[in-house]
Amino acid sequence: MIVVIKNQATEEQVSELMEWLRGFNVKTNLVTGVHSRIIGLIGDTTSIDADAVMAREGVEAVKRVQEPYKNANRRFHPEDTVIEVRGRRIGGGSLAVIAGPCSVETEDQLMRTAAAVKNAGADFLRGGAFKPRTSPYAFQGLGKEGIDLLIQARKETGLPIVTEIMDLSDLDLFADVDIVQVGARNMQNFTLLKALGRCDKPVLLKRGLSATLQELLMSAEYIMSEGNGKVILCERGIRTFEPETRNTLDISAVPLLRQKTHLPIVIDPSHATGHSGLVEPMSLAAVSAGADGLEIEVHTDPKNAWSDGAQSLTPEQFASSMKKIRALEKFVINGLCS
C-alpha cells in the first residue's frame, strides 16, 4: 500500500500517521521527492482499510499495490484448489457438471430429472429447496421437504447434491447436503458467509448481480478466513443495460479469476441468459474459456415449471448438449495443438 501525503501536511501529522500505520504491524518507508512525499507500507496490509487511511489528517491518496484478499489469492497458493465430494472433483482440470431443476417441486419431478441428468453424464444434482424469488407471492420452495427429496434422489442416483441456503437459521437442515450454494442475492450476506466459514462443507458462491470480481473474491475470503477453504466461485451473469438476456454472461471472468485465485470456477449459463436456447452455446463458451464446471437448469416439463422454465433444458436437450460439452472438454484438456 502506498500513502500519498498532502503537500501542506506538517511534520507532526506525518509522524503521527506513520506511527498509526505501524500499529498494523507493517513497516513504513517515507520517501521524500522534489514535489511530494509518499509512505510505502511493507508487510501484510490486508487488515488496513484504505478508507480509514484516507480519513487521517495529511493524506492525499491511498493506493493498494496488493490485493486485499489473502486466502483466495493465487499469489500465496499457486496450485489449483481441487474440491472432492463423494468421489467427484471440482477444480484442477476436469469439468464438473451440476444439473437439475431450478426448484424441487414434487417427488416425481425430482426423481425423473435426477435419473435423466445422471444418465446424460452430470456429476452433481442441483435443486432449490429455499428459493430467492423477486415476488413474495411466487413459489418460495418446499423448504425441508425439498432437502429430504434431494437426499432421496442422491440415494437413487448416487449424485451428490447442491442446494441453496438463504437463511442462517436453516443451517442445521443442510447437515446432509454435499455442497451449499450461496445465491447471487446473498453474496454479501457476511453473517451467513462467516457461519459457512466455520462449517466443513464446500460452498458454491455465486457472483452478485452487480458485484465486481474483487467483491466476489472478498466474499470468498469471508468464508476462507473463518477456516473453510472449500469455496467454488460461480459466474452467473451480471446486470447490464441489455434487456434481451436475463443477465450478461461475463465469460472473461473465467480467465481473469484463474489468474487471481486458485479456487475452482463454475459458470451458470441458465441464470446468465434466461433462455434455454442460449444455454448450450454459453456452456461451450465456458468450457472453451477453461471453466472448472457448469451449473445447468433441467426440467422434465419446462413450460410448466414452478420457476425459471424459460431457461430450463428438457432432459433430451440436456443429453444432446452434454455430448458436445464432453467432446469439447476432451479437446480443451488435450490441448488445441496436440
Instruction: Give the one entry of ligand PEP, Mn ion, none that residue 277 binds, where binding means its C-beta sits below a cut-off of 5 to 8 angstroms depending on kind.
Output: none
Compute CA distances 69 → 39, 140, 215, 229, whole Å: 22, 35, 10, 13
Report which residue type is found at 259: Q
User: 295 pairs with which residues across the strands?
Assistant: 98
Binding letters toward ligand PEP, positions 267-296, x by CB under 6 A = -x--x-------------------------
**Per CB under 6 A, does 183 bind ligand PEP?**
yes
Q: Is 239 in the site for ligand PEP (CB under 6 A)?
A: no
Instruction: Report the distance separating Cα 260 and Cα 71, nearest Å.
Output: 11
Residue reference for cell 514535489: 35
* Of 62, 129, 159, 184, the one binding ligand PEP by CB under 6 A: 184
3-class secondary-structure state, position 143: coil
296: β partners: 99
**C-alpha distances in Å from residue 289, one per residue of 4, 33, 82, 263, 283:** 39, 45, 18, 15, 10
Regarding 102 and contact with Mn ion (CB under 5 A), the answer is: yes
- 128, 146, 160, 264: which one binds ligand PEP (CB under 6 A): 128
| Contact mark string toward Mn ion, 258..297, x via CB under 5 A | ----------------------------------------
What x-and-dash track marks residues 56-95 binding Mn ion by CB under 5 A?
A: ----------------------------------------
Rounded-to-integer distance, Cα 103 and Cα 304, Å: 12
234 part of the interface to Mn ion, by CB under 5 A: no
Stretch of residues binding ligand PEP (CB under 6 A), selected from 24-32, 47-55, 141-149, 179-187: 179-187
Smallest CA-to-CA distance from 82 within 203, 267, 225, 230 is with 230
Contact with ligand PEP (CB under 6 A): which of 118, 154, 206, 299?
A: 206
Exposed/middle/buried for 51, CB within 10 Å: 0-12, 13-18, 19+?
Answer: exposed
- Residue 206 interacting partner from ligand PEP, Mn ion, none (CB closer than 5 to 8 Å by kind): ligand PEP
- From first CA to last CA, the distance across the chain in angstroms is 44
CB of 29 to Mn ion, least distance (A): 51
Decide which of ligand PEP, Mn ion, none touches 230; Cβ closer than 5 to 8 Å per partner kind: none
Binding to ligand PEP by residue 246, rule CB under 6 A? no
d(CA 193, CA 182): 8
d(CA 106, CA 299): 12
Q: Give the interface segment with Mn ion, choosing from 58-66, 102-110, 159-167, 330-338 (CB under 5 A).
A: 102-110
Q: Return the residue of 154, 230, 236, 246 that touches ligand PEP, per CB under 6 A.
A: 236
C-alpha cell recorded at residue 235? 459466474
Binding site for ligand PEP (CB under 6 A): 102, 128, 132, 164, 183-185, 206, 236, 268, 271
